[in-house]
Structure 1
């Protein structure tokens, strides 16, 4: 499930409505939480009616300020209202066809310092809420947790920071840090006058850390507001099998690889300790150097094969239309040499992977190597275990 929060700074202008509808169309979202819609009455329903397959709930703006909204994809989720206030609204999100459901609070923090604490106290997760342990609180809080969440301008600790930290501690909340950035708001100025802050965030109750669910947030680059949207992805945590370092025989195809190994081995003799400790550290150093060289210099054989093939095809098209000159003749020969070298590396790679070492080099049986590698993987897979009675 994917939930996105965005302070749109007004949704009444036609171009802003078009921008938000375009945002819904290009991003795979289940729920979009909006702050500062500055809409009310029939205008909110008119906006929802103009969005196909989407439904919504709105908290009307007071005057030309505030306003909250929840928009959801009717195909994937159902959203039910719980409670609302001028600065927050609570809903229950249910996955269609699943038992997965949880409450969510959409928050727009007031700009005035004296009003912030009042709002924090109002949106304390109520004990009467059935699924209170699963609560997620999200939105534009208009507040920082510490001075590191601000760049530019005057940076100092404040009572608001303390109040927000107390709010987090009291409600047993986890601050989910975005994986691709920090700041969600900027004043759109340059140089000395530029100020960036992390005002928008997702909080989740500590229940989300006890199971196998994985919460990941990221900031979405988007124009149209001085706030950037932030997205929360909820999915199952996958435990990747550890990948071990394996020496590939195709590296010997590089004529300078043997000399590089000697140099890297000597460069690793900088550790102090027992001989066995130094030996292990030199092996680790050698492994890192080989992996870096393989990535930067030896390159990926499959992408290289595709690149050379595309360049040869493009050159042939050009020759078909205008003939071949000396420069193109040399280029074609060089590409063919590169292509043959890549094919040789690919053959050795699949030979290593398939473990069919009795096939002699030079036959270029890459289809056989690939097939035998897959067959071995299927053969090694355990589909079931029988008991002593054969069941």
Structure 2
């Protein structure tokens, strides 16, 4: 099962929307955490194709600032919204395929230092509410943990880094280290003016027994934003991500098997789209 977190830095320009949608299509996630949509709820639902391909849960932006969204594929994932604010969303995720469930927190931290203190308390309270379950935090905290998470510009220890580290230690969180790059944001300048930081990643709750599961994160190529999307693949230990499906001949000799296939075919959920797309969705359901 694949998660994706991405600070898209606004979706108002048509050309940018096209690039973002193309990036999502290439990544092929099942659950998407979006930060900084800079859109209202209805506009965000329309832009990201809710009710056509995705289901969604959005938080409205304040003017041209902020805006959050969680999207999921309803054919393979069930998501229940729990709570939200202008800086975070929390949902319960249940996979229909691999019998996997977790709490997912989509975070976009405030940029003002005066708002940070209350923000850390709010996220800590959310994590305490789900302490006995697996919690995944898709983060853009607008803060870095150390000097190693920044390249270029002024590099000095500040109160924001100290508070962020205290928050991580207190909640016993650990980061899924992503391959593919050390930084997830850049100011897109050249030479000595270039600044890059690691602002986006996934955190997991340390208290949960993660032995049966394997987590792999990767920084993906950006498209239309100055932030890079980060993916998180969750799979059972020893089980390949894409298991080949093969029909055994003995199934065809089983009494009532063909009749059952007909029943499954009729029970497949109706989806919108071209006939070829509908056909493959029915095949996937029967499998």
1:1-391 mapped onto 2 (5 Å cutoff): 1-49=1-49, 52-97=52-97, 99-126=99-126, 129=129, 132-208=132-208, 210-238=210-238
Deviation for aligned residue 1:112: 1.4
Larger radius of gyration: 1
User: Contact 1:125/1:171 (CA < 8 Å) preserved in 2?
Assistant: no
TM-score of the superposed pair, with normalisation by structure 1:
0.58
Which structure's relative contact order is higher, taking Cα pairs within 8 Å and 6+ residues apart?
2
Q: Which residue of 2 aligns with 1:369?
A: none
Count of equivalent residues: 240
TM-score of the superposed pair, with normalisation by structure 2:
0.78
Deviation for aligned residue 1:222: 1.6
Q: Distance between the aligned counterparts of 1:225 and 1:69, measured in 2?
A: 16
Q: Distance between the aligned counterparts of 2:112 and 2:127, measured in 1?
A: 28
Moved over 3 A (4+): 48-52, 125-133, 207-210
**SS of residue in 2 equivalent to 1:25:** helix
User: Contact 1:48/1:55 (CA < 8 Å) preserved in 2?
Assistant: no
User: Contact 1:33/1:139 (CA < 8 Å) preserved in 2?
Assistant: no
Taking a change above 3 Å as real, the CA distance of residues 147 and 169 of structure 1, as seen in their structure-2 partners, is: same
User: Contact 2:35/2:107 (CA < 8 Å) preserved in 1?
Assistant: yes
User: Contact 2:41/2:58 (CA < 8 Å) preserved in 1?
Assistant: no
Deviation for aligned residue 1:132: 4.6
User: Contact 1:185/1:226 (CA < 8 Å) preserved in 2?
Assistant: yes
Answer with 181-190 or 16-25: which moved more: 16-25
Greater strand content: 2
Please give the per-residue CA displacement for 1:282-308, whole angstroms capped at 9, x wherever unaligned: xxxxxxxxxxxxxxxxxxxxxxxxxxx
Structure 1 unaligned blocks of 5 or more: 240-391
**SS of residue in 2 equivalent to 1:133:** coil
Deviation for aligned residue 1:128: 6.9
Q: Which residue of 2 aligns with 1:300?
A: none
User: Contact 2:20/2:223 (CA < 8 Å) preserved in 1?
Assistant: no
User: Contact 1:105/1:135 (CA < 8 Å) preserved in 2?
Assistant: yes
Taking a change above 3 Å as real, the CA distance of residues 204 and 25 of structure 1, as seen in their structure-2 partners, is: same
**SS of residue in 2 equivalent to 1:58:** strand
**SS of residue in 2 equivalent to 1:45:** helix
Deviation for aligned residue 1:157: 0.8
Q: Distance between the aligned counterparts of 1:224 and 1:232, measured in 2?
A: 20
Deviation for aligned residue 1:127: 6.8
**SS of residue in 2 equivalent to 1:124:** helix
Q: Distance between the aligned counterparts of 1:53 and 1:75, measured in 2?
A: 10
Structure 2 unaligned blocks of 5 or more: 240-287
Taking a change above 3 Å as real, the CA distance of residues 230 and 127 of structure 1, as seen in their structure-2 partners, is: closer
User: Contact 1:149/1:183 (CA < 8 Å) preserved in 2?
Assistant: yes
Answer with 157-166 or 2-11: which moved more: 157-166
Q: Distance between the aligned counterparts of 1:15 and 1:137, measured in 2?
A: 30
Please give the per-residue CA displacement for 1:62-92, whole angstroms capped at 9, x wherever unaligned: 1110000011111111111111011111111
Q: Which residue of 1 aligns with 2:269?
A: none
Deviation for aligned residue 1:114: 2.1
Please give the per-residue CA displacement for 1:171-196, whole angstroms capped at 9, x wherever unaligned: 11111211222100001001110001
Taking a change above 3 Å as real, the CA distance of residues 210 and 42 of structure 1, as seen in their structure-2 partners, is: closer
Q: Distance between the aligned counterparts of 2:156 and 2:24, measured in 1?
A: 38
**SS of residue in 1 equivalent to 2:86:** coil
Q: Which residue of 2 aligns with 1:336?
A: none
Deviation for aligned residue 1:135: 0.8
Taking a change above 3 Å as real, the CA distance of residues 165 and 133 of structure 1, as seen in their structure-2 partners, is: farther
Deviation for aligned residue 1:116: 1.8
